[in-house]
Amino acid sequence: MFMSNDHNLLAELIEALRCLPGVGAKSAQRMAFHLLERDRGGGVRLSKVLDEAMQRIGHCQSCRNFSESAECAICANGSRDASLLCVVETPADLLAVEQATGYRGRYFVLMGRLSPLDGLGPRELGVELLTGRLADGAVRELVIATNPTVEGEATSHWLGQLARTAGVRATRLAHGVPLGGELEYVDRSTLAHAFGSRQVLDD
């Protein structure tokens, strides 16, 4: 792609940058030129951290979130409430809950959602580990925070059954009109759901 057919490091760099999500040929080229022209230090640092991260980051043995150590910082934190277990689909969802809410319980990261077409079943989502945690007696509430998509809802249903089997209370994040949203612009299914789930106002 870059001006010659023999070995070409710049072409290789541009090609390698395309493994990043949302980065096409043009952005990759821009990134390569930017690093070479203006930020070689940043490039070298990125290379080092990237290599270390790819080699050393694994999964927490109790919640499946990304972690460098056998147990992640949240699971290792004794001050977090072990009676609450929040199930999310991805580490990014965990981060969103962690940053937006005052939740101080534990997490379980499915690293996906039930999706038979993608080969993602209960085993891939860590069902053994999860049932183990539900069975150990510490957890009293399973907060289901899967996404409100078709697959997320199916996953939520399955999680609810797991909780019921283990005798643990299951709760689901509330769905409805987002704060600051205007009814006029809220999509139909959200509005229909919010209408159907309307709540009694306390006096």
Nearest approach in angstroms of CB 42 to its own copies is 3
Site for its own copies in 123-162 (CB under 8 A): none
Interaction pattern, residues 36-75, with its own copies; x per rule: CB under 8 A: xx-xx-xxxxxxxxxxxxxxxx--------x-x----xx-
Interstrand relation of 66-67 and 58-59 (parallel, antiparallel or unpaired): antiparallel
Nearest approach in angstroms of CB 53 to its own copies is 4
Is 25 near its own copies (CB under 8 A)? no
Nearest approach in angstroms of CB 3 to its own copies is 6
C-alpha 104 chain-centroid distance: 18
Alpha helices, DSSP H only, in the chain? 9-17, 25-38, 40-56, 73-76, 91-100, 127-135, 150-166, 188-196
Q: 33 CB contacts (<8 Å, ≥6 apart)?
A: none
Tokens describing residue 145:
């925070």
- Let me know if 15 is exposed, middle or buried by CB neighbors in 10 A (0-12, 13-18, 19+): middle
Is 86 near its own copies (CB under 8 A)? no
- Which amino acid is present at 157? H
Site for its own copies in 103-122 (CB under 8 A): 111
User: How many residues bind to its own copies according to rule CB under 8 A?
Assistant: 53
Is 87 near its own copies (CB under 8 A)? no
Query: Could you list the residues that contact its own copies (CB under 8 A)?
Result: 2-4, 6, 8-10, 12-13, 16-17, 19-22, 27, 29-37, 39-40, 42-57, 66, 68, 73-74, 90-92, 95, 98, 111
